[in-house]
Structure 1
Amino acid sequence: LVNVIFELAKFAGKYKELPTLGFTHFQPAQPTTVGKRATLWMQEFEMDLEDLEYVLGSLKLLGSKGTTGTQASFLELFDGDQKTIDKIDPMIAEKMGFEACYPVSGQTYSRKVDTRVINVLAGIASSAHKFSNDIRLLQHLKEVEEPFEKSQIGSSAMAYKRNPMRSERIASLSRYVLADSLNPAITASVQWFERTLDDSANKRLSIPEGFLAVDGILDLCLNVVDGLVVYPKVIEKHLMSELPFMATENIMMDAVKAGGDRQELHERIRKLSMEAGRNVKEKGLDNNLLELISQDDGFNLSPEDLQKIMDPVKYVGRSKEQVEAYLKNVIDPLLEKNKKELGVKAEINV
């Protein structure tokens, strides 16, 4: 998990200034940068690491409490010596590398513990699934692709295709873990009194398989992030095809500065935007909104003036600064704290 965050940090830093079309509802929206989008993936994995460290740091050992958790047998063994009995659990905890034992229990530790553990795994799976979905959509747009081996077959029928097979595998395994997380929760909820044995078979499947699946998921994530391919020209093409619509506010303000009436210009630009939209959707033409505006005397703006307004950097807000601050203030300290964990590589067969 630390290594996935590390690779995402490198990717975010590299592309922190590259403008790209933003999406809400998978519809074109205000631009962001490729690096800023990567920080959204990274932050979710960072939350997972926080949860992992918290749960791992707060786990306790069952200790030795007997058949129903009352330590009745120890009273007999030590002739009722309470102080000697009180020494047992701390000694066991230290021997097993735990800070402490749970103060009370039935025959087993509470199966709520298994629920806490699997929920951490499910959190990682959820983050990985969201990441993989975004990569699959970006690969459809031909803006960003997962790595593709020289001899890899993209499609058994269509040789030209490059299917996002790694990301699809991430999604597939992640869904398994998300569904698997119900097992310990249900098991914990149906334990009777001091214990029943219907937990055993379920736990022996759900817990190990949850860990194995997440291990595979993170290997895949590491492999994908380490080899992501970005296509700036395609990104620019998509962005510039939509930017005129998003720049209408700036265009209108510049026209007002040039002496135009805001109310009148607003109605003019609304009508021209609708016309340009029809040209794109109904006629399959390029977005010609800028051309329509430059031909409208009410705006008093030349094609050159309009092109200056079309600088994508003007529309990405503080994306670059947000990436830099996030990496410096959050991720760099996290990686420094976990530097012994760095260096893992993942080789995936597809």
Structure 2
Amino acid sequence: QTQPRVVDAFVLGDLAALAACCGKIATDVRLLAALREMDEPFGDRQIGSSAMPYKRNPMRCERACALARFVVELAGNAYVTAATQWLERTLDDSANRRLSIPEAFLAMDAVLDLLRSVFEGLEVHEAMCRANLERELPFLATEALLMEAAKLGRDRQKTHEALRKAAQEAAARMKRTGGQSDLLERLRALPELAGVDFRKALDPARFVGLAPQQVDRFLEKVAQPLQTRYSDALGRSPDIRV
């Protein structure tokens, strides 16, 4: 007579998975905004806070996270409804699904509109990215330095302990004084790293792995075909109130 209500759960489960991906993306933008590496669009007369004029809150991403979380939770509602049906079917599903299914689609539509508005005007601050990278690079490079030292025949455990101590002391000094890191100077002074090629170990390209190729492949194989397929729908700009 009717489809099993678990079908509703499958549908909302797919929406929940999409919502989780969107929520993760929006969360990452918010985190990078806190590091001043990235900003979502901000209107000329937009106000971040009525009390704090300097604030530039990532409100689009915050709203996307809130709605994405709402969609994710609706999926659980559908599974519980499917699990508690009696025999062929009872009517305790009706009122529930009349709310959960439409609201899941409406909320997901809003999430996608919000993210599209973000990425159509996303600002990436390369100078800040570079500054943050340069500050953290000596810490990131300790693993590479350890590997290079091991290749030269150095005792791995002793070298690891020397690197650990230098990194911890440099980090503690930064937290205590608020000053710049002196880790690189500490590392260059370690006898365990004598003869190690610091330039090679500190090359940022060493830490990105296959990310550039993966991005290019994703754009070519996934993003661009989807843009072509749905070009008509993508021609519409979302109307977002800020």
Which structure: larger Rg? Answer: 1
Q: Is this contact kept in 2: 1:294–1:301, CA < 8 A? A: no
Q: Offset at 1:162?
A: 0.6
Correspondence list, 1:1-350, <5 A: 106=1, 108-252=2-146, 262-263=154-155, 265-296=159-190, 299-300=193-194, 306=198, 309-350=201-242
Q: TM-score, normalised by structure 2?
A: 0.85
Amino-acid identity (%): 45
Aligned-pair CA distance for 1:111: 2.4
Q: Return closer, same or farther for 1:224/1:277 CA change in 2, 3 Å cut-off.
A: same
Report deviation, 1:308: 5.9
Structure 1 residues 282 and 192: CA distance shift in structure 2, 3 A: same
Q: Name stretches of at least 5 consecutive residues in structure 1 with no aligned partner.
A: 1-105
Give the whole-Å Cα distance in 1 for the aligned partners of 2:70 and 2:83. 21
User: Which one-letter code corresponds to 1:212 in the other structure?
Assistant: L
Residue-by-residue CA offset, 1:252-310 (whole Å, 9 max, x unaligned): 566678xx6512655543433333223223333311122123345664469xx645643
| 1:18-69 deviations in Å (ceiling 9; x for gaps) | xxxxxxxxxxxxxxxxxxxxxxxxxxxxxxxxxxxxxxxxxxxxxxxxxxxx
Please give the root-mean-square deviation of Cα atoms over the aligned residues, in Å: 2.7
Aligned length: 240
CA displacement at 1:128 relative to structure 2 = 1.6
The amino acid across from 1:290 in the alignment is: L
Cα deviation, 1:189-237, whole Å, max 9, x if unaligned, reads 3333344333322222222122111111111111112111111111112
Q: Distance in 2 between matches of 1:268 and 1:341?
A: 58
CA deviation after TM superposition for structure 1 residue 176, in Å? 1.9
Amino acid at match of 2:223: I
Structure 2 contact 154–192 (Cα < 8 Å) conserved: no
Looking at structure 1, the residues matched to 103 and 192 of structure 2 have their Cα atoms a distance apart, in angstroms, of 67
State how far apart, in whole Å, the 1-side matches of 2:58 and 2:100 are: 28
Aligned counterpart, 1:53: none
Structure-1 separation of matches of 2:160 and 2:148: 12
Q: Provide the secondary structure at the position in 1 that maps to 2:92.
A: coil
How much does 1:326 deviate? 2.4
CA separation of 1:130/1:256 partners in 2, compared to 1, >3 Å: closer, same or farther?
A: closer
118 and 279 in structure 1: CA distance in 2 versus 1, 3 angstrom threshold: same
Secondary structure in 2 matching 1:181: helix
Gaps of 5+ in 2: none
